[in-house]
Structure 1
Amino acid sequence: MTDAAHRLLWTVVALLLVAVGVTALAAGSGALPGGHPDGVLLGGGLVDTWRLATPWSTLAAAVAGLLTAVAGQRLLHRALRRPDRALRGTLSRPGRHPGRTRLATEVLVRALERDLLRVPGVHRARVVLTGTPPRPDVWIRVDLTGDARPAGVREHVHDAVRRFATTAGCQPAHLDVTARIGPARP
């Protein structure tokens, strides 16, 4: 999941929680139509139904709470994780003639980082390769100076990834690029 998708997901979760909180506040203060500040929030029929299904209603509430907690934990874990399973060792590709070409992944990562640092305005570059060697996932973070041209940086990153794919002999299965812009120079 990309950074934008994570931000959208967290925004939706936050808006839902705010909506639930505002609704509870409005119901408690009697601001809802037909509501009274001293009235019961849950009607007598709902309470009677809850009591009728006594062992199962409690179990259903516990399961719903557990599923919500697990979903929240997974969401937090995915949002706070670093790219996992970084490739280590060598990237081995069969050649046209007998034999194999072996490339150390650290060498590929450093070469791509150096290639990304050649563009004006890129202050720092970090690359992580994950996944399986024939179609690795490529995670790139570039720190830009305040006067960098985003269009030029985007074009250079595209070209650098294309050169990386040609050199390594494999296409990235997933490409995630994060650009952070620093303050402008005085």
Structure 2
Amino acid sequence: MTDAAHRLLWTIVALLLVAAGTTALVVSFGALPGDDPGAALLGAGMLDAWRLATPWSTLAAAVTGVLIALAGQRLLDRELRRPGRALRGTLSHSGSHPGRTRLETEVLVHALERDLTGDPGVRRARVVLTGAPPRPDVWIRVDLAADARADGVREHVDAAVRRFATTAGCTPAHLDVTARIEPGRP
């Protein structure tokens, strides 16, 4: 799922929760127009049906609550998952000649990290590959020295990613670069 899809999903969930909360608040104050504050919210027919199915209605409500809780837990797990669950195994390319080239993802990650730390302004680099092997998502975090020039580091990171794409034979589908500056005198 893309970042835009995640934001849309969370926006829909938030709007539904706000609507449910607002409705509950309006009902609790008896502010619904033309409604008796002492009347049952569900209506006589729904109350009779609920009471008629007494043990099963409670069980159905409990099961529904558990399923909603599990769906929420799964959604939170996917949203809070770090990109640490990375692409594992090999990146495989078919060539124009018979045969296939296989590259270990750990080798590609370490090579890109070494290339990124080749600039004197970059103290540490962390790279994670996720997604589909032909067009992986590349997540980069670089820790910069306090006196590093931002434009020079940006050019270095761009060049390193271009070299990575050429060497691996694949273009990143998404590239996310996070730069952190070490504390110190600029």
- How many residue pairs end up in the alignment? 180
- Structure 2 residue runs without a partner (length 5+): none
**Cα distance in 2 for residues equivalent to 1:132 and 1:54:** 50
The amino acid that maps onto 2:74 is R
2: CA distance, partners of 1:180 / 1:53: 60
Amino acid at match of 1:137: P
- CA shift digits 1:123-182 (9 cap, x unpaired): 87532124565x36323144699x957xxx5x987765454232113455x535254687
Distance 1:65 1:109 in 2: 43
Q: Deviations over 1:50-76 (max 9, x none)?
A: 223445433432332222112101101
Query: Are the counterparts in 1 of residues 117 and 124 from structure 2 also a CA contact under 8 Å?
Result: yes
Cα distance change of structure 1 residues 6 and 131 upon mapping to structure 2, 3 Å threshold: closer
Task: Provide structure 1 residue ranges, at least 5 long, that are not aligned to the other structure.
Answer: none
Q: Does 1:140 align with 2:139?
A: yes
Taking the aligned partners of 2:118 and 2:27, their CA distance within structure 1 comes to 60
| TM-score for both structures, normalised by structure 2 | 0.65
Q: 1:80 — aligned with what? A: 80
Residue identity in the other structure for 1:46: M
Partner of 2:106: 106
**Which digits, 9 at most, give the CA deviation of each residue in 1:65-107, with x for residues without a partner?**
222112101101101112314425x656576778875645334
* Residue of structure 2 in register with 1:32 after alignment: 32
Kept in 2: contact 1:125–1:142 (CA 8 A): yes
Are the aligned partners of 1:127 and 1:140 in contact in 2 as well (CA < 8 Å)?
Answer: yes
Following superposition of structure 1 onto structure 2, how do residues 52-131 of structure 1 map, counting pairs within 5 Å? Answer: 52-83=52-83, 84-87=85-88, 91=91, 103-113=103-113, 125-130=125-130
Per the TM alignment, residue 21 of structure 1 is displaced from its structure 2 partner at its CA by 1.1
Query: Contact 2:87/2:105 (CA < 8 Å) preserved in 1?
Result: no
Q: Which residue of 1 aligns with 2:14?
A: 14
3-state DSSP class of the match of 2:34?
coil
- How far apart in 1 are the matches of 2:60 and 2:13? 22
In structure 1, what is the Cα distance between the partners aligned to 2:91 and 2:163? 16
Judging changes above 3 Å, is the alpha-carbon distance between structure 1 residues 92 and 39 closer, same or farther for their aligned structure 2 residues?
A: closer
Name the CA distance, whole Å, in 1 between partners of 2:52 and 2:24.
Answer: 25
Residue 25 of structure 1 deviates from its aligned partner by 0.8
CA distance in 2, matches of 1:8, 1:181: 28
The percent identity for this pair of structures is 64
Q: Distance in 2 between matches of 1:22 and 1:131?
A: 39
Task: Output the TM-score relative to the length of structure 1.
Answer: 0.65
The one-letter code sitting in structure 2 at the alignment partner of 1:32 is: L
Residues 91, 15 of structure 1: alpha-carbon distance in 2 compared, 3 angstrom cutoff: closer
